Structure 1
């Protein structure tokens, strides 16, 4: 798998050190092989062409080939990855993520799910592995740590308007009307159940905000966007994947803009990919392409092959885009114009992520993604990852998690407790921190 990041990998800021020391301050047992580019990466993989623009050269900035067998990912074990020990309650997963389920073997990362005795497994019937689908999230939110995600995910927004408010509505009213109709049937057709963007462009002077500020003194809106390389599903007995990105605030009825004269949703592989009819719900607006995967590359019934999956993106809102790759072929592209301002819900342009992003890989089960036939789920099952490679444009290399344009390290250190305790799921009630005042509703 490889990704084109026009933004950042982890750096020496915030506990991810270029010299090979991880967040626990420990040096891993990977002698001579803890640089950002794995020494086992073949030289021919050091450069490639952009999927979106073949004339643009991309260079390798990070790779992990997982060639050393027996690696472990408990806290402090590895310079690049840490396996979590928690329940991923946000998507109602059926498994407990345990570091013992993540290791390397036969030159691959191995994430294994298996049945477990609930008595010895936090009252859950499955156990699996997750290292911090293959997907990415903005650095200000830690996956599985609800207190860091409330009001942050899945926002990707830098406007000061109603889109930053709770329920995407004027306080105490049901306006605009389109925020209360054509929404999620689970919530009486209300469009948004989000608490509002915590670190918005409307944040009042003197409130806690990581910055930066504009020349006029107003804050830049910050958040924890999500881009998914793939989330596996089964459709009519065929192995499929959702190649998706999540956004907030929302369009009317979660419908992005797509004009046939200037398309913003482009299906490249029409034989294997179609645009997903599911558009989102009360907690996220989804843009997703459903694609048939290479059936030979499954653990059972396959030939043992690996398929290459990727996403490439350019941040921003003018010429921003996300392009997904399925089995080393273009699948589909989302252009930033799909997220143009929506007059019906009175929200501005949503942005292709400008946040520093980090990678996550996990193997899990959840009925929120589709019906599960648990009696016939073949476990134990293992997802093997042959390699992970990250590329950037040759003329725009930018590595680090604490850039001046989107600082994160000081904010994360200030609220470190929320990023280390997954039981703190609410910012005010559990983390015991104030919600920053918003000029759209507070006196400032």
Structure 2
């Protein structure tokens, strides 16, 4: 599950041909030739403005003269009964203003200032406050509206119980503290743009995975102390189903931590069809906005070599041999090419002066993905695909998965195994499959909330030291992948792939797609409801909290603003080629 788009494959002679592609699937899915109906409705958004006008009202005073000697009231005439205009009696000396005069002038100034504030200042201030980001104790959260009083809260939900304020590492006993939580206890929350400080619902069709459903903000709400996402058999914008996707994109993000989500999954543990997803993605990519993700997803890389080039081949297309002629599980479907990715848009050697988000042009930037849960039905019942989506790719997508060499660890062999799906021409899936307990499904007897956890330590300096990802279910560690699994591959002229250090946003959605798993139409029951009891994120004690979507070491704000058309319009499928920055390997 991830960003999507259409990629151009770089042929060996240097020409390009377009390929409609799936930009990210569950680790157990692959691209297929199944037909689908596209959405014929258009999605638009309107930004309401609040125009205002100001009016200055001031009374005028006229003092008529009584019986002037001259019909025109000439100023040289001496009007005995008009002391105001009797110049002969004018006092040539100056006097201090009386207290009463000061009071009168002050009162008039106060009234005038109040009128100005009422008719001019207040509307300006209202617009400013509406557009101003809501500032919390830890981070500035983007907003375009004023939120209801109950949502003007910090990163930690006031309803989070005291015993959830800290977490002890399950494998190593390390101490962690809470940096973000949402308990979803407030009833009636909605997630249209501007409704919520931390979440926004996607409105559109997720074309990259050819989903059956249209994502509609109306499919999400908070009821009975839970977030509920409903997958309904309801015709919407040319599709037969409606469901929901909730994102924290550009509102709250994390660089490393322990993420725990308590959820009940829809349906039965042995009926295929629903595709619940709990996942994270780098903030430079916006899920569902394909134009933002081209050349970004699923890279996690900061080397200047063949790994960042189109199709993962040399400039002239003659090699490396293992990239030109791959032997992956599905390579026969794509002329045995290893990669159809368009190359990395923001590599570690972007040309000087080029469009790059920083912190400098020698830092590779991208939109990686880590999947906490992608639920499917396996031979023993429900399974969770727990994956780190990755590019560039290993030979035939076989990353290092040896427990003996310390590349991976299977913590619960009775319930977890390495996924036999390793990827395709668009993604390498560093993935494990773990059994999901039957009680995690809402149609099963004894159904209850089950926790799904993800712990990751980023590869901060690119050395790989101490970097890892570990997945959990119901408080038990399932499996881990370490940086050793993603080391350099000289045969492909690629360097180390990185455990993501980008600021990662959170996504929760309920989908259905043939390419992930063919639905069992005969036994599926609608609506399917996924419930979320809480989302909590912890980070290690003794370190600065890293909860910003625009951190100094991995900034995103200015880049997003400079490409607002792509981040605001999900109908744009491709990043404009005339804006694609050049790199040193291609020539500056």
TM-score, normalisation: structure 1: 0.91
1:43 aligns with 2:186: no
Equivalence map 1:326-405=2 (5 Å) = 326-396=473-543, 397-405=545-553
What CA distance in whole angstroms lies between the structure 2 residues aligned with 1:114 and 1:189?
40
Equivalent residue for 1:148, pick from 292, 302, 325: 292
Alpha carbons of structure 1 residues 18 and 329: separation in structure 2 relative to 1, 3 Å:
farther
Tell me the equivalent position of 2:178. 60
Question: Secondary structure, in 3 states, of the residue corresponding to 2:492?
Answer: coil
Return 222-231 or 300-309, whichever deviates more. 300-309
Equivalent residue for 2:442, pick from 293, 299, 315: 299
Tell me the equivalent position of 2:472. 325
What CA distance in whole angstroms lies between the structure 2 residues aligned with 1:61 and 1:15?
23
Tell me the equivalent position of 1:188. 335
Equivalent residue for 1:278, pick from 401, 413, 421: 421
Alpha carbons of structure 1 residues 230 and 16: separation in structure 2 relative to 1, 3 Å:
farther
**Larger RCO (alpha carbons 8 Å, 6+ apart):** 1
Tell me the equivalent position of 1:158. 302
Equivalence map 1:45-444=2 (5 Å) = 45-54=164-173, 56-117=174-235, 121-132=236-247, 133-180=277-324, 181-183=326-328, 184-213=331-360, 218-236=361-379, 238-316=381-459, 317-396=464-543, 397-428=545-576, 433-442=578-587, 444=588
Unaligned stretches of 5+ residues in structure 1 = 1-13
What CA distance in whole angstroms lies between the structure 2 residues aligned with 1:23 and 1:270?
43
| CA offset digits 1:286-333 (Å, max 9, x no partner) | 011111111012111232310010100000022100000012111100
What CA distance in whole angstroms lies between the structure 2 residues aligned with 1:62 and 1:261?
36
| CA offset digits 1:105-130 (Å, max 9, x no partner) | 1111101101122xxx1211110000
What CA distance in whole angstroms lies between the structure 1 residues aligned with 2:365 and 2:238?
36
Question: Secondary structure, in 3 states, of the residue corresponding to 1:206?
Answer: coil
Contact persistence 1:110–1:384 (CA under 8 A): yes
Q: Please state how far the C-alpha of 1:24 moved relative to its aligned partner.
A: 4.3
Structure 1 runs (4+) deviating above 3 angstroms are 14-24, 258-261
Q: Report the aligned-residue RMSD.
A: 1.8
What CA distance in whole angstroms lies between the structure 2 residues aligned with 1:125 and 1:174?
46
What CA distance in whole angstroms lies between the structure 1 residues aligned with 2:482 and 2:336?
28
Contact persistence 1:23–1:76 (CA under 8 A): no
Tell me the equivalent position of 1:8. none
Contact persistence 2:403–2:409 (CA under 8 A): no
Alpha carbons of structure 1 residues 30 and 388: separation in structure 2 relative to 1, 3 Å:
farther
Contact persistence 2:302–2:347 (CA under 8 A): yes
Alpha carbons of structure 1 residues 123 and 237: separation in structure 2 relative to 1, 3 Å:
farther
What CA distance in whole angstroms lies between the structure 1 residues aligned with 2:403 and 2:475?
27
What CA distance in whole angstroms lies between the structure 1 residues aligned with 2:132 and 2:568?
13
Tell me the equivalent position of 1:6. none
Give the paired residue count. Answer: 419
Alpha carbons of structure 1 residues 21 and 343: separation in structure 2 relative to 1, 3 Å:
closer
Alpha carbons of structure 1 residues 419 and 219: separation in structure 2 relative to 1, 3 Å:
same
Contact persistence 1:101–1:113 (CA under 8 A): yes
Q: Please state how far the C-alpha of 1:96 moved relative to its aligned partner.
A: 0.4
| CA offset digits 1:383-408 (Å, max 9, x no partner) | 00100000001112222111121111
What CA distance in whole angstroms lies between the structure 1 residues aligned with 2:132 and 2:299?
24
What CA distance in whole angstroms lies between the structure 2 residues aligned with 1:225 and 1:149?
10
What CA distance in whole angstroms lies between the structure 2 residues aligned with 1:284 and 1:200?
17
Question: Secondary structure, in 3 states, of the residue corresponding to 2:342?
Answer: coil
Unaligned stretches of 5+ residues in structure 2 = 1-130, 248-276
Contact persistence 1:27–1:79 (CA under 8 A): no
Contact persistence 2:231–2:526 (CA under 8 A): yes
Q: Please state how far the C-alpha of 1:343 moved relative to its aligned partner.
A: 1.7
Contact persistence 2:550–2:557 (CA under 8 A): yes
Tell me the equivalent position of 1:7. none
Contact persistence 2:280–2:370 (CA under 8 A): yes
Contact persistence 2:159–2:183 (CA under 8 A): yes
Return 247-256 or 374-383, whichever deviates more. 374-383
Contact persistence 2:371–2:388 (CA under 8 A): yes
Q: Please state how far the C-alpha of 1:18 moved relative to its aligned partner.
A: 3.3
